[in-house]
Every structure is written in structure tokens, then in C-alpha cells.
Amino acid sequence: MQLETSRCYAQIDLDALAENRRLLRAGIPEGCRLMYILKADGYGHGAVAVAKALERDARADWIGVACLSEALELRRAGITREVLILGYTPPEFAAELAENNITQALISPAYVARLSQVAQEKGVTVPCHMAVDTGMSRIGYLYGTGDPAQELEAIAGAYRMPGLRVTGIFTHFSSGYSQEREDVEFTQMQYDRFAAVCQGLAGMGIDPGLRHCCNSPATVNCPQYAMDMCRVGTVLYGLLPDTAMVTQRPFIPVMTWKARVAMVKEVQPGAYVSYNRTYQVQGQPVRLAVITAGDADGYFKLLSGGLGRVKIRGHVCQVVGRVCMDMMMVDVTAYPDIRAEDEVILLGGQGEDRVPCEWLFRPLSPLGPSAITCSVRGRVPRLYSPVND
């Protein structure tokens, strides 16, 4: 047994990543690009390792991150693909953006004015993509809520700002995961607004650049909206944002999160289990397995009291009592074959050993699958399998 696998660890299957990438490419129009979203350390999978694996694809196009520090981490690791920051960067870092060829989202007129000013002061030109708010009410220039001509002119003005080079434009769908009629209509409305902006810019003699509006769920459910590029995050890692997603593509979970059984003990009726005495053994003795993972590893304490489930030797075992900082207890009374040092599947896996992500995020609604893998702490080693594509 190696030290890295002796307690709690995450296996990252880069072959599964490659297969998910292939499935995504197969579902979008030929010539459409993919932007791989690597924010939050690649959704907890390790941004640099994932980026290096994806760079082996000669057709890999763009990488998306949330902030400048994430982009710089990739550049320092030798990643050369185009990188877009999908969130806010203080304009004072205009030079860092330009010098590292990092593309910045343009999030508002005031932001654009300040970024342009700093870029001119520093004598640099910052590559940018225009963000358009078509219904998410998050970042971006508003379109569809006021006078269309005025809103379009404001967007066009950003393309003319000195010190900025706008090479693309994007919006973000709020409900692409849903097939409910109202959600489908809302996604269509967002697309129509975005398409109107792109057409309006072209009519003004402005090349909008790379157009992208599909996130992971929309890439799967609404490939007709693909335009020039699709941004893929959760699905790239085999995490389906919603079980209602219409897909026949067998995406594979990339992360398998494991721990071990530290010991097995029999607890008599009347005994309490874990903190705050929230669980008391009743009637018959209970056989407990102490697991080498806790909330300091990223296993949510909210999964205490029977909400959490793991698999040991293919058996489903429920969490008993409160999840502790470094350990938790599960009921193995029905499974006499479970013993100390057995492997425990907390998340992922294949076949009868698979623990679906829904087991962890459904009891914690409104959390989604990305919250689970992003929660796996840094002290949990990531072990990478080779890519065989």
C-alpha cells in the first residue's frame, strides 16, 4: 500500500476525460470549437493536469477560468491554449492580461472604460470577449430589457475602445438543463436576444468574433444553439447537472473518491454514536465501520444521520451519527464480509461499486454536482491514470 492511497484519495481517470471530450465533440456541429472550463482547480480534478491532458488533442481550442490567478497558474505550467477569464479581473492588472495573452470578459460599460484607461496608461492591448446579459442577471451588457438600438450601441462601443481588442462575444443560459416548457422557451428567448446582438453588430460593420452561448447542459440538450464554440465544464468531468437532461451519451465520471475502513466494531443497544449523541443504538447490536474520511476532506457534514451513503465491497452502507472532521461511521451490520482496510467508495467508480454524484448532492439541494467535486479538499491526493487516446 502506498502512502497516497492509505487513507483518503481521489483517482482521476484521464481516459474517461478523453472519452467525454470525444462524446461532446460528436454531439456538436462540425467545426464548432470547445472551451474546456477549468475553474475551481478543474472542478476539483486538478486544473494543470487536466489542461495538459486536453492539450494532447490537436483540436483543443480554448480554456475557461474564473479569475486571473487561475489563468496565470496555467500559463506558468506551460499551457499555451487560449484562455478566457469568465469573471472579474481588476483593471489594474491589464498588463498581466496582455503580457500573458489572457482574454478578459468585458462585464459592464464602467468596467470597459476603466480597463481601456489602464491599458492605454500601460501601453498594452488587452484581448477581450464581450459578455452579454440576455436573462441571467449576472455579468454582461444588458440586452433585451430596454431600447434595443441603445443597448446595441453600448455593446458596439466596447469594440471601439482603445487598448482593447475584442475577439469574441458570449452569453450564459440560465436553464439549459431543463426540458420544462417554460425553461425551454426562456432558453430560446436568450438565444434569440444573443443572435440579435451578433447580427446587429455585423450590420454595423463590426465582426463580433467567436460567438458562444452554450454551457454544459445546453451543449447536450440544445446543440442547435452551438454557434462557434461551446463551453463545457460539468459534463466534461462526467457530472450530469440534472437527471432530467436529455442525453443518450454515456459520459463517464472522471473522479473516483475513495477512503478506507479503519476498524470495525460492534456497538451495543443504548450506546451513542458520534458527536451530540444524535444517534442511539436501539434493539439489537450494530456493527459499525469507521471510515477514514470526514468533512475536512470535503465530505459534507450535512450528510450525517443517514443521508450519506457509501459503498464497501459493493454493499450500500449508510452514514450513522454525525460526520466528524476526519472520520465517519457507517452501518455494516448486514455485511459480515466487510473488515478493516477495505476500500470505501465515496464518489464515482464503475459497475456495482459506483456511487453516483446524486447520492451526495440530492440530499443537499440546491447544490449541484460541481459542488461535490469542488469540495474535495487539497489534502486529498489526486492520482492520475494515463491517457490512451
In sequence order, which residues have a C-beta less than 8 Å from that of residue 199 and are 6 or more positions away?
Answer: none
3-state helix, strand, coil in the chain (%, to 5): 35, 25, 40
* Rounded (10°) CA dihedral 123, 124, 130, 131: -90
Query: Dihedral, CA atoms, 83, 89, 94, 97, nearest 10 degrees?
Result: -20
Long-range pairs, 147-155, Cβ under 8 A, ≥24: 148/196, 148/200, 152/197, 152/200, 152/201, 152/204, 154/109, 155/130, 155/197, 155/201
**108, three cell numbers:** 459592464
Q: Which of 88, 159, 237, 275 is catalytic?
A: 275
- 165 is annotated as contributing to ligand binding: no
Catalytic residue among 39, 159, 258, 279: 39
Q: Which of 290, 293, 340 is nearest to 313 (CA)?
A: 340
* Active site annotation includes 39: yes
35 is in an annotated binding site: no
* Helices (H), ranges, the chain: 14-26, 39-43, 47-54, 68-76, 94-99, 109-122, 148-159, 181-203, 216-221, 358-361, 369-375
Omega within 30 of 0 (cis) for the link into 369: no
CA–CA separation, 23 and 19 (whole Å): 6
Contacts 24+ apart (CB under 8 A), 97-101: 97/68, 97/124, 97/126, 97/127, 98/122, 98/124, 98/125, 98/126, 98/127, 99/124, 100/71, 100/72, 100/75, 101/127
**How many CB atoms lie under 10 A from the CB of residue 186?**
18
Residues 231 and 213: their CA atoms lie apart, in Å, by 8
Binding site membership for substrate: which residues? Answer: 138, 325
Active site residues: 39, 275
Binding site membership: which residues? Answer: 138, 325
